[in-house]
Homo-oligomer: A and B are copies of this chain.
Amino acid sequence: MSNSNTTYADWIAVDWGTTHLRAWAMVGDTVKAEAFSEDGMATLTRDGFEPALLRLVEPWLDTAPMPIVACGMVGARQGWFEAPYVAVPTKPCDLSVVSAPTTDTRLNLMIVPGLKQAEHADVMRGEETQIAGFLTSNKDFDGVLCLPGTHAKWVRISAEEVVSFQTCMTGEMFQLLAEKSVLRHSIAAQGDAPEAFVEAVTDIISRPEKLSQRLFGLRGENVLNGLDPVTARARLSGYLIGAELAATKPYWLGQDVALAGSPALVAAYAAALKTQGVEARSYDAAPLTRAGLARVYASLTESV
């Protein structure tokens, strides 16, 4: 699926997660071409990474080594080459990339390391680059950046530093419960019910101890009272995001909060936070990753 209309690039930006691979041919911070595949880390053996990358970027290569800056699970222990975690507090815009060995001499692969936190042990890979991208246009941000997704991250930022962070596996829980548990019979595959969502959020934030009961209640309400599966889906989402807000209250309470992720999910989190009187600014995550990779690449060329 590569787009080979453009033959020249200064460097290549790569976002390589568990389930996806995205590459952009770049000149400075301008995108000249892009290519995507589903060769995520989870589908590859160690010697499958280089061919997977070449399938996307070969049209952009010349004979000289091409700088490639990659972030995400590609740098995990089970990825292409481990880029050890950097401990917080740290500045995501100043992370030192790790050079990874390649067979093809046209590839000069550099991997952005993830972040780790010793107390309240936690890790991230990929989000540090989104944070760097966020900071390029929000240099003076002092507050909390929330990155919702499969594993949502709440990140305290001050003076361009990640001070601390916390992960909640809300997206993964939602998917497991909606698709793999007994609730799958009662939950629609898609659809919104904003009022039901907000009610569920406020219900769980005020009574977080009821989560375990509320979940099976969706099944009971569906079987006995014909609860609409779209409403059930909204409630499940509201219960789980509400539980996340209950767990992360010390992060968002009284803070300047920004959200970055897929627009639909960001809108849901914004609505959930609004029930608690928090007006969060919203960002689309997709351009942030690329901006973060461009920032890392720029710092490489500055320091040369």
Contact = CB atoms under 8 A, between A and B. Distances in A.
A120 B215 CA distance: 12
A151 interface: yes
B176 A180 contact: yes
A58 interface: no
Q: Chain A: interface secondary structure?
A: helix
Interface string A205-227: 00011111101110111011100
Interface string A119-133: 011110000000000
A168 interface: yes
Nearest to A183: B169
Nearest to A77: B223
Contact of A181 (B120, B176, B213): B176
B182 A213 contact: no
A181 B244 CA distance: 17
A173 B180 CA distance: 10
* Contact residues on A (Cβ < 8 Å of other chain), bracket: 35 or more
Contacts of A208: 208-209, 211
Interface string A185-221: 0000000000000000000000011111101110111
A212 B121 contact: no
A215 B169 contact: yes
Instruction: Give the residue among A117, A123, A216 with the most B Cβ atoms within 10 A.
Output: A216
A118 interface: yes
Interface in A59-88: 85
A216 to B, nearest CB: 4
22 contacts: A118-B225, A121-B220, A121-B223, A121-B224, A122-B216, A123-B224, A166-B213, A168-B213, A169-B181, A169-B212, A169-B215, A169-B216, A176-B176, A176-B177, A176-B180, A176-B181, A209-B243, A210-B247, A212-B240, A212-B246, A212-B247, A212-B248
The 4 closest A-B pairs by CB, nearest first: A121-B220, A209-B246, A208-B209, A212-B247
